[in-house]
Structure 1
Amino acid sequence: MDIIGNKTLRDLLNEKTAMHRDKTFLLFEDQEQRNFKLTYGEFADQVNRLSRVFLDLGVTKGNHVTLHLPNCLEFMTSWFALANIGAIMVPTNILSTADEMEYVLNHSESILLITEEEYLEKFTGIRSRLPHLQEILLTRYEGDDYVDQNMNQLIAKAKPEIPKIPLDSEDVAAMLYTSGTTSKPKGVQITHANYLFTGEVMSKSIRLSPDDRQFIVLPLFHGNAQYYSAMSAFVVGASIAITERFSASRYFKQAKRLGATVGSLFAAPIRMILAQNYDPADQDNSLRIIWFAQSVTQEQLTMFEDKYNVSLLQMYGMTETVGVPLMNPIDGIRKNMSIGRPTIGYEVKVVDEEGKEVPTGQVGQIVVKGIPGRTLMKGYFKNPVATAEALRDGWLYTGDNARIDDDGYFYFVDRIKDMIKRAGENVAANEVESVLAEHPSVYEAAVIGIPDPMRDEAIKAYVILHNNHDISEEELLSYCRERLAKFKVPDSIEFISEFPRTSVGKIQKQVLRQRNEEGFKANS
């Protein structure tokens, strides 16, 4: 038996409720800075009542339910209520367009959608094209038009009975969609064991105790907030403070007000915080550690730690690894320009194109050893080809390049996949290219990421127009805004007459990147 055994999220909830019934579990601050609180006992009551609501609506074990919600208490109760009955949560980005949501709802075969009135119009035009969707519930709804769909009222009327549905630790509990190199996202299947394992790994890696309070400002639909923040707190019986949205100017003030002790950020939010007018009072905060992903400069690292009196730990993980396989050690030498060393429960190496481990200092692909459904994702939903490509002989091939130094620290180099990292969001270049190519004036498009001092990378599109067609950059950007989430829309479009190509006709994007860099230098 491993550290998880056959334990499920329902077992964990029952265990921690029995141990900490009257202890504060969740604190939430909404956009108006109103604060809400739930103890472990109150949270369990809400979860069990909502489980009854789902069962009454016909949600059964194995059904997918899509959450289209901002950070809120209802996201947390929905997540655990679905796990309570063996159903599967499908969390989505509230910035996703109607077209993007149509794909996710249909691909996942979701029978229920949970959202807010603010986003309801997004689904009105596509409802007739969603054959699996049976019902829509609204959270935080205070009107009179959707009484039967008011989730909070339904919860209040339901009985708080713990479901008796048989569960297994390797049952799928959630499906997180992640952009790939193809134009359509893949559904990453995450089991109960996956969630518990990553909670154990992260809590031990940052020395989390029941007295700690996780600070979640990143979106809950992301694996980062679920895996590293929420689950690490849950497995040790700690508490969680959640804000509806990230605020660079209020980050440390909120952390202090909510009593948070540990936090998580991407590189872009770190730069945004540093860009604010500095308030010396922010140095007096309650945070002892913040882990982060994606590169920042040594100067930014030093400045952040000095200004705010908090230690940073760079780490590496992805939706498919579930846990954090690489992280700078909390009690060892930190090399925060690196992505750290292997953590508890993981074996990580760097390999060449033939899968052979490369020598120290040489660049190769990061691969992570594990067990699908326990320490790694179970697989991609309805995509056995992609699953077989990613999971090979007990190793997850990440598609990311790195090198290892003499002390065993890994250094991220680049992405093998044609992926753009924009302010913490993964953007598949091919997805943006596909949208551009659908415009009647566009003959062909190529999209690349270019360095951006604030958002990691900006999105630049190169476009060839059909003969005798004319369209402005703004018109084409407006076209993209109607079809893509805001963070996927190109920052700029350059019209060109031809692309650099290989002998077989493939566009040489590296040449485009070099041209962009040379043009930037010439203009500086």
Structure 2
Amino acid sequence: MTTELPVSPLPPAQRTLPAMLERQAARFGERPLLRIAGRSWTHGDALRAAGGRAAALAQAGVQRGDRVAVMSSNRIEFLEVFLGCGWLGAAMVPINTASMGPQIDYFLRNSDAKLLVIEAAFVERLLAADLARSSLREIWVLDAAAGDGTGPGVRTLPYPAAREALPPAAMQPGDPLAILYTSGTTGPAKGVMCPHAQYYWWGVNSADVLGVGAEDVLCTTLPLFHINALNTFAQAAITGCEVVFESRFSASGFWASMRASGATVVYLLGAMVPILLAQPEGPGERDHRVRVGLGPGVPESAGRAFLERTGVRLLEGYGSTETNFAIATAPDSPRGGVMGWLRPGFEARVADEDDVALPDGEAGELLLRADEPHAFASGYFNMPEKTVEAWRNLWFHTGDRVVREADGAFRFVDRIKDAIRRRGENISSFEVEQVLLSHPGVAACAVYPVRSELAEDEVMAALVAREGQCIEPAELLAFCESRLPYFALPRYVDLLAELPRTENGKVQKYKLRERGVTAVTWDRGPGGRPPAKG
């Protein structure tokens, strides 16, 4: 097992995106760095793109400390804006492409974004957002024809060309690089303030866990608006290798994509592995260059089956948007079925509700902290109370219940938080409940997770109808489709006379989870694939 990082980290002052790009461009120059949607960059191209896009942002009035929102699929413009913001000193705010009008409206207002970069296919969704209440001054539309003119209430222009490069801003490692929204557990989504140094450490730690070297080709089908995929760019930039971003995950086309890309390292989420194993076996599962994969949340049995069928060992690990890659397995780990062992540079505690450390073998909340400055997020944007709550007593409280075993391995038990994890997405039960309660037939509701056949959560809703109303689950789901991301739509619906509550009226969701799916539960089926763009 690795006990220390195999390479010396950069000095603290150089743990910023501009310094990282400048250093790696000098080292790797015109070596391939990126392939995405038919476009490509060398390491030198990335440096030039950062300066040129920063100049275009500055021309639009974006200044250091501003926020720039981006709603885009995996394409090179996403990374241009990300690098340009980091070069200029602004912070990028990625928006999940499944977001509908109410969610987009919230992200824009909460982040106080001054500029929105959005694909033309998603512009229609802005009609359901109250942009007049936002701070937007301008919208750049990807794929828009020149002269499209004014859009939904805000000056709207086609995505402009890069300008003559600006010199980098004098960034500090603790300055914000991005605000990544993660679903709230009892309230709205929280904007995680990710500093430059955290992004650097994400790349260093992930590359170390996977043994990434300069000759590797990283390939991911995950979306860039999540830290998992955005982090692969950091891994490639730091190590001098190449990263390929696919447009989406396709079970039937996965191995063909890996062969075409020449991938040696892949990135999978827990539910993706059972989906791949459900495909018919074929020679393509062995006809590839993939040597290792990152597969957090993959059941041990599925990991073993995947290795046997494909020859690819999947490594487990633990990290969140707020933290870093703090716990992981390795190819030489003595056993599976665990999240892994604590990595160098981090401390972990399994604690009771008063943050008192518990002995090995006893389940409690996982608390984490980092040795290096700014290796974790700096808090939740515009949510000081939530920041203090999560980072209290000098530890970050993950909200996950784990056990530390005698050999130092950490084993996941369940989530303490009232959050749901489906298709690689964190879902806020609060946000789903607000949409359900906006239906005229719903008097009360509770949303909670139940386990699916894909080793992940499914969304279940218990509903109480208004007096004199009759709720038709299929009609209710149709009502929700234009108001919720596809992955947040409930699969199961229970119609109840009343919800179980405590003496003070709080819904006892644990009773609903224990009840689970019954013979009278409405089930829309295991589908829930993304709808067509637009």
Tell me, yes or no, whether TM beats 0.5: yes
SS in 1 for 2:487: helix
CA distance in structure 1 between the aligned counterparts of 2:161 and 2:39, rounded to whole angstroms: 19
Q: Distance in 1 between matches of 2:411 and 2:86?
A: 36
Residue aligned with 1:458, SS = strand
Cα deviation, residue 173, structure 1: 0.6
**What is the match of residue 324 of structure 1?**
325
Give the whole-Å Cα distance in 2 for the aligned partners of 1:467 and 1:520.
Answer: 21
Partner of 1:15: 23
The residue identity in structure 2 corresponding to 1:6 is A
Cα gap change, 1:371 to 1:443, in 2 (>3 Å): farther
Superposed counterparts of 1:40-119, under 5 Å? 40-119=43-122
Aligned to 1:451: 451
CA contact (8 A) 2:21 2:46 kept: no
**Which residue, 195, 200, 204 being the options, matches 1:200?**
204
Relative to structure 1, the CA distance from residue 471 to residue 332 in structure 2 (aligned partners, 3 Å threshold; closer, same or farther) is closer
Task: Give the equivalent residue in structure 1 for 2:13.
Answer: 6
Q: How does 1:177-188 map to 2 (within 5 A)?
A: 177-188=181-192
CA 1:183/1:372 → structure 2, altered by over 3 Å: closer, same or farther? farther
Alpha-carbon distance in structure 2 between the residues aligned to 1:268 and 1:201: 24
Instruction: Write the deviation string for residues 113-134 of structure 1: whole angstroms up to 9, x where unpaired.
Output: 0111111111134354343101
Report if aligned partners of 1:180, 1:417 keep a CA contact under 8 Å in 2.
no
* Cα RMSD for the two superposed structures: 2.1
C-alpha contact 1:288 1:311 (8 A) present in aligned 2 = yes
Alignment of 1:335-354 (within 5 A): 335=336, 337-354=337-354
Counterpart contact for 2:255–2:284, Cα < 8 Å: no
Distance 1:50 1:516 in 2: 50
Q: Whole-Å Cα distance in 2 between the matches of residues 202 and 4 of structure 1?
A: 19
Does the 8 Å CA contact 1:284/1:309 hold for their aligned counterparts? no
Q: AA paired with 2:31?
A: K
Contact kept in structure 1, 2:494 and 2:520, CA below 8 Å: no
For 1:380-403, what per-residue CA distance to the aligned partner results, in whole angstroms no more than 9, with x for missing partners?
111111111111233111010001
2:435 equivalent in structure 1: 435
For the residues of structure 1 that align with 2:213 and 2:486, how far apart are their CA atoms? 38
| Structure 1: stretches of 5+ with no match in the other structure | none
**Could you say what secondary structure the match of 2:268 adopts?**
strand
Give the equivalent residue in structure 2 for 1:395: 395
- Are 1:348 and 1:366, in contact at CA under 8 Å, matched by a contact in 2? yes
Secondary structure in 1 matching 2:13: coil
Q: Extract unaligned runs of 5+ from structure 2.
A: 1-7, 151-155, 524-534
- For residue 27 of structure 1, report the CA deviation from its aligned partner: 1.0
Out of 263, 269, 272, which is 1:269 matched to?
272
Alignment of 1:105-504 (within 5 A): 105-126=108-129, 128-141=131-144, 145=148, 149-151=157-159, 153-155=160-162, 158-159=163-164, 161-227=165-231, 229-296=232-299, 298-321=300-323, 323-335=324-336, 337-370=337-370, 374-454=374-454, 456-504=456-504
Q: Are the equivalent residues in 1 in contact too, given 2:303–2:313 (CA < 8 A)? A: no
Distance 2:208 2:286 in 1: 26
Q: Is the 8 A contact 2:462 2:495 kept in 1?
A: yes
Task: Write the distance in 2 (CA, Å) between the matches of 1:206 and 1:128.
Answer: 43
- Matched-pair contact (CA < 8 Å) for 1:360–1:406: yes
My pick for the range that moved more, 136-145 or 481-490, is 136-145
Could you report, residue by residue, the CA deviation over 1:163-212 in whole angstroms, capped at 9, with x for unpaired residues?
A: 24321111101000011112310110001111111211222222211111
- Residues 1:444 and 1:233: Cα distance change in structure 2 (over 3 Å): same
For 1:429 and 1:117, locate their aligned partners in 2 and report how far apart those are by CA, in whole Å: 30
Asked whether the equivalents of residues 190 and 373 of structure 1 are also in contact (C-alpha less than 8 Å), the reply is no
Identity %: 30
Structure 1 residues 300 and 125: alpha-carbon distance in aligned structure 2, compared to 1, 3 A threshold? closer
**Count of aligned residue pairs for this structure pair:** 509
Cα contact 1:370–1:396 (8 A) shared by 2: no
Q: 1:136 to 1:127 in 2, by over 3 A?
A: farther
